[in-house]
Structures are given as structure tokens and as C-alpha cells.
Structure 1
Amino acid sequence: MSTKTPSKADILRPIQETSSTYYILVAVAGLAFAVFLIGWFYQLYEGMVVTGLSDWGTGGGVTWGVYIGAFIWWVGIAHGGIILSAAVRLLGMDRYMPVARLAEMLTLAGLSAAGFYVIVHMGRPDRMVTSVIGHYHITVNNSPLVWDVTVITAYFVLTATYLSLTLRYDIIRLRDQLPDHFGPIYSMLTIGYSEEEDVIVQRMVWWLALAIIIMAPLLLHGGVIPWLFAVLPTYPRWFGGVQGPQFLTIALTSAISGVIILSAAFRRAYDWDHIITDDIFRGLLLWLGFFCLLFLWLQLQQVTTGSFSPPVDLGIAWIATLEHPAYIFSMTLVAVVLAFIFATTIRPALFTKTRAIICALAVLTATLFEKVLFVIEGFFHPSFEIYAATPGIYVPSLIEIASITGTIGMVSLFFLTVAKIVPVVELHAIEHLRAEHDDSSTHEDQTH
């Protein structure tokens, strides 16, 4: 355990210090995003024909594929991130305070990537204005996809407000050590600040956290997003009440995995072993195991009802899913991660930070594969297979595959940029850690 005392200088290090590794990471992330943008511009020029998507039916394919599967994946990561941060504040989980802001930022980044996917999948960006915004009063009543856009926008604004309220406290107290060239940003974030507002802001943040926890099963990844699929009875692979809880568990496993990876990256880059401790990784890994267990349990419910004397259409859909290598691969990854986490509870020596990162990467890969396959198989096997003579075929194009690495690059650029402007660890977290450290030192001195 590190005996180093956490300080303001620690959380200012990402802003004040820039290494050659930072520029390399910016270049790699920028290249990944640029490759996807080039592919997208080519798609805009040639049309959606350059993707692996095709008309359902006589085209023998699917109208939704990687784009929508990855959209769900990013929304899940984003929604799970804000739920994690809200739980830290609402339930007093001080142990995770050093990573709470990373979870909030992950929400903003994930929602940005998800929203970008909606624009890409529409074929033409102008349709967002002419078809969605321009006729919103009509589309919101008839298009589940517009519900998604509405929820994404609402939660982006909610999270941005949530984050900006906590940033005010930090920026005021660290302003003399922050770069002057970002002065306009700091002035905007702290406009009208007074010390009297600190108590009020803390109360506001608590109520926002409560609202997020309450709304999670209703409007986040337990509500609107799964309703896009779950209310369609002609698609047996999608239809059913289990989709809400299933989507929510996938969101939480994905978000915890994302926070583990981000925490490890910042800890390694800025020597934050004494801030983002091994104890935090152990706790996050245990929570990951809990939600992996729920994830597999809900999958078992669907497999059981889909394979034990099911209706014909449901049986066909689930046989196709169970035989698909992507499904076997994703479920195996989650099961192996769960087995490892369970083993660490019996033998704690098995735990290492590196293994926690591997588990996180495995779960993120599994949830991405599962979501893409979920979307595709639903289209391939509707209740009335009037086009059964034409076998369903879907192979993602390079542009669609590049969208995954491209949005990961986009999210990486977000963190690389934001880390140069504002602290990614709250000053409250540092103050809490210092108090704990001082109490521990005092107790040791008294013991001696």
C-alpha cells in the first residue's frame, strides 16, 4: 500500500505535464477516427450500398447491423457510467470517489459516440433536421428511434449539468495553477460562483443522482432503448419483458469495464497508485462479477424459453443464435471472467490489476459481439419468414468495422483533450483521501 499523500499537484499533473507518449496516443486515436471519417464520407458519396446492409426480405439481409449494435453498446457504456457515478454520490460509496468523475466523462463520451452512430446510420446528416427535428411533434409519437434520440439528448444535458456543478468547486480552488489559455472556458464554468453555493450544489448533485438512479430502469438502458426491440411481437428474438433487465445488466458490465480501463490508463500515465488504488480495482472487479452473473442468468432465462418446447418462430430464432460462433464466443468470455472473479474471492492472491484489465477488455468485447448479433438475428428470423427462400446474409463492410475503432478513437480523443483542460479526479476525492491518510498516520503514531 502506498504511503504517499494525495495532493492537488497530483490531479493537476495531466494538465501541466505533456509527454511524448501523449502525442503518440493522440496520433493513434486521431488516425483511427480519421479512417472512419474517410469511410463515412465515401458512404455519403456512394450511398449506404457501400455497407453490408441491405433491404430486409428480397435483399436477403438486414437493415440494421454493426451501426445499431454498436450504437446500443455505446449507449449502454454511457448509461452505466452515469449510474455508477450516481451510486457513488447517492449511497456514500467514498471508496470509488477517485473514479466517479471518470465515469461521468465516460457518459458524455459514450453518448457522443452513440449520437454519432444515429447520424451515420441515417445515410444523410440533413435527415436529422428534415426528418427528426423538423417534424419532431409527429416523429416522437411514431418512431421509437426518435425516443432514443430524445433520451440521449436529455441525458447528455443532465450529465453535462451534473459534471459542471462539481467542476465549479475544483476550478475556483485550482484556478491559479490552471493554464491561462483556457481562461474563457474556466470563466464560463464558474460564472456567478460564490462559496455559499457549495452546500446547495452538493444537495443539487445528490438529487440529480437520485433522479438518475430512479430513471435508469424507466428511461435509460432499462427502458427506452430495449423498448425499441422488446415491443415488436413479430420479431421473436427481440420481443419480451426480459430485454429491459438484460440491457441494464449489459450496460453496467460494459460501464464498469470501461471505468476499469480508464482508471488503469490514468493511474499508469500519472503515477496515481496512491489515488486509484488496487482496492478500487478489486471493488470494481467484484461489481463486474455481480453484473456478469446477472447477465448470464438473464441469458439463461431466454435460452430456456427459446429452446424448451417453444413456439416454432421462437425456436428457429434461438437455434440460429445458439449455433452462431459469435454468441458462443461472447458467452464464453463472460463465463470465464465470472469464473475468474469468483476464484479471486476464494483465493485473493489471484487478483492483479493487469488481470482486472484483461477481464474488462473481455467483457467489453463480449457485450459488443452480443449486441451486434442480437440486432442481426432479430431481422433474420421474424415470425413470418415470407422470404425464407432467400437465406439471410450479412457481412459487415470495412467501413462498418472501422466505425468501431473510429468511435473508440473518438472517445479516446475526448479524454485526451478533456484531461488537458479540467481535473479528471475531483478535488473532494483528494481531500477525502488526505483526511483518511492523516487519520491513519495519527493512529499509527498513537500505536507506537
Structure 2
Amino acid sequence: MTGPSRGPALPQERRLVTEIPGPRSRELMARKQAAVAQGVGTVMPVFAARAGGGVLQDVDGNSFIDLGSGIAVTTVGNSAEAVVRRAAAQLERFTHTCAMVTPYEGYVEVCEELARLTPGDHEKRSVLLNSGAEAVENAVKIARVYTGRQAVVVFDHAYHGRTNLTMALTAKNMPYKHGFGPFAPEVHRVPVAYPFRWPTGPDNCAEEAAAQVIDQITKQVGADNVAAIVVEPILGEGGFIEPAKGFLPRVERFARDNGIVLVADEIQSGFCRTGRWFACEDEGVVPDLITTAKGIAGGLPLAAVTGRAEMMDAVHSGGLGGTYGGNPVACAAALGAIETMRELDLNARARRIEEIMKGRLTALQEKFGVIGEVRGRGAMLAVELVRPGTKEPDPESTAAVARHCHRSGVLVLTTGTYGNVVRFLPPLVIGEDLLNEGLDVLAEAFAGLG
């Protein structure tokens, strides 16, 4: 991993030439406040002008190290050559016809790739959509039709989207659900195996959590009423929680034994992010349906549900789709992104990023008591911040670390049910020198907490 992806030349360096935000960004922010709904928040008050490799350049000429990838979207970089080339070629041919009116080869090619890449050697089908939330919602629709059941089981700390149904599936109130109810019915929440916060400790977490899940479903819902269990193999907005080893396979067995459709939400964790094509492969879990988005198309809006042919084909003709679902330009970009992932072996790159970052983050944990846990896989990593000597969440220090990084030219994101997790999602094409420089700034941020 020696440098950025191919694409428009953009110096791979951190460089600050104005205060943050600079004058041009402040001007644009004033325009944003006058024209854009206030509910559309902003992590960093700077406006992007160019991006590529491992950097993002703002309109004032400041260059930031990107450890966020547009929330796991620009896995292959912001301007990967194959993505740009294929999307540009498709733009010259046509921008849209609607796949439900006159289909096109790109849609079929993406579905063929998904059948090859997703776990399991069973016959598969896919439907292409616009967003992760839309993919999850369609997975639930498919499961309900296939099983003839209605109930959906989800987990503590889960995040699945912002539509009415996916808000119901999501655990966290603020900012995702607050004031937006009532929500869709027949959604039931069960515990997740969260090792750092499991009451009896991490050693018993998987077995006890799985037992609680099965007990709650059996007694409170009835397994025969459950259409789907929807789970993130690594919980994203909940705090990059890795369920304790053994938990997901046990849930999978329970679903199989009871005719329940297991849906893996790999929207944030998929497409090489964790060092495998999909995070559920880590324990050999083969979901019935898998939802994807984010990293699938190198920055263009695309999502998918891929699953067992008999389940996907249970829905009547015309029951799945959407005007823009599987847009031809987005499909071309997805084929370019997958080409890049294979060509650059981005699974190996993700594992190398983990090697570098886990070492640096663990060293910080040993030095600073505010870091309660370092966790994650591949280039989907996080630190959970607590009051030293306790497990009490420390969102104030989390925000302070993020502010320091942002002022110093490093883009990081926060997350977690308690707002106390700093998460790292660098582009898999980031150079090692740039990555280490970003981690140097992170170390400065922790040292400055006092």
C-alpha cells in the first residue's frame, strides 16, 4: 500500500493554508443556511472542491487527510480511474431509461457480480435500488412475502436507515427517530452480544446473548410469527460493535431451524471494508438475504438486495423496483469499483490498514485511560471513550478529539449509541505515510485532553 488510486492528480498531503473553516467555506455555509433545511447537519464546516486517494481538498485550498470515506462510501477513493472511466462512458451513451421500462446490460452485470461475490454457492437473484434504507426495506418486504409472516426482529444499537420502517428498525432516538413517529409496527428488539458492555463480561457474552435472543423471540413474539431477523455483522452507527464470536452463527442456526429469513445488513461493512468482501464471512455466516450500498459504486448512489433465488422470486412481477433503482451510470460506476477492488486487492489493503491502525490505537489505549476499547476489523475501526477507570461513556472527550482532528486537517467521524465512539473508515487506497500522519494528529488530540 504505497500510494493513492489512479485518477486526477491531487497531492497526497495534509496542508492547511487558512483557518478552519476558511473564508470561502464560511461564505458557502451562510448560503447553505439560507437555502438548505436546517435538519441537514454538517460534521465539518468546510466545503469540498476536490478529493482523491486519501485526501479531501476544500474550496479554500486546505487539504485534509480523509479517515471517513464519505461514511464508508468512497472505499476505492473519491476518483478511482475505473469508476470515472466507466461512468463517463455510460454518460455519453444514456443517463436513464428506467430498468423497469427498458432494461440495460449494466444492471444485469452488477447483479451477476453480486451473485459471485456474496457468501454462499446457492442460486441468487438481486434487485438494485438507490439507498441502504431502501435496500433494507425491500429485504423486509421480500421476507414477508416469502414466509407469509409479519414480525421483524432487530438488535440493540442497530441502525438500518431513515425511512419510516427503517427508523423503526433503528435503535437510536436522536437524531434518527426523534419526533418522527409513529413508526411501522411488528418490529421487535432483542439484545446484541456487545462484549465491552455485557453485564457478566466478554467471556460469557456470545452464549448468554444468544440465549436471551432466542428466549425473547420464542416467548414474546413466537418464532412462527417472525419473517426476518435483520442484523449488522458489525454494528455501524451503534458504535462499530463486533458481536462476540459465536453469537452470529447461533442466531443463524436459530433462524434456519425456524424458517426465519436471516438478513445481513452489510451496507457499511461490505465490499472489502473489513478485509473480506463481506463481514459475515468472518464466521462463515451465509445470510439468506444481504443488503449492500455505500461502497458498492465508488460514490454514486446504488444499493442492492441479493439473496436466495426462491426468496427473491417469491415477489410478484412489478412488486420490486423504483424509478431510479439501478441507474445505468451508477451501475457502470459499481462495475468500475469492483474492478478496482479486485485489481488492487483491497481486501489485503484493508487488512494492512488494520495492522497499522490497531497497533497505533492500542498504544494510545495503553497511554490514555479515556480509551476504553479498541475494536473493529480491516479498515472499519473504532475507539470507545469512557471516564478513566470506568465504563461510563464520555461523549464530551469524543467531541473534543474530533474537533482537534478537524482543526488540524484530519477528517474523523464520531458514532455510537452514547456518542462516545471515534470511528475510522479510511479509503482503502490511502498511502501509509498519510495514514500514519493522520494517526499522529489523533495522538495529539488525546494528549490535549488533559
| TM-score under structure 2 length normalisation | 0.25
Q: Which has the higher strand share?
A: 2
Q: Which has the higher helix share?
A: 1
Higher relative CO (Cα under 8 Å, sequence separation at least 6) belongs to: 1
| TM-score under structure 1 length normalisation | 0.25
For the pair shown, the structure with the greater C-alpha radius of gyration is: 1
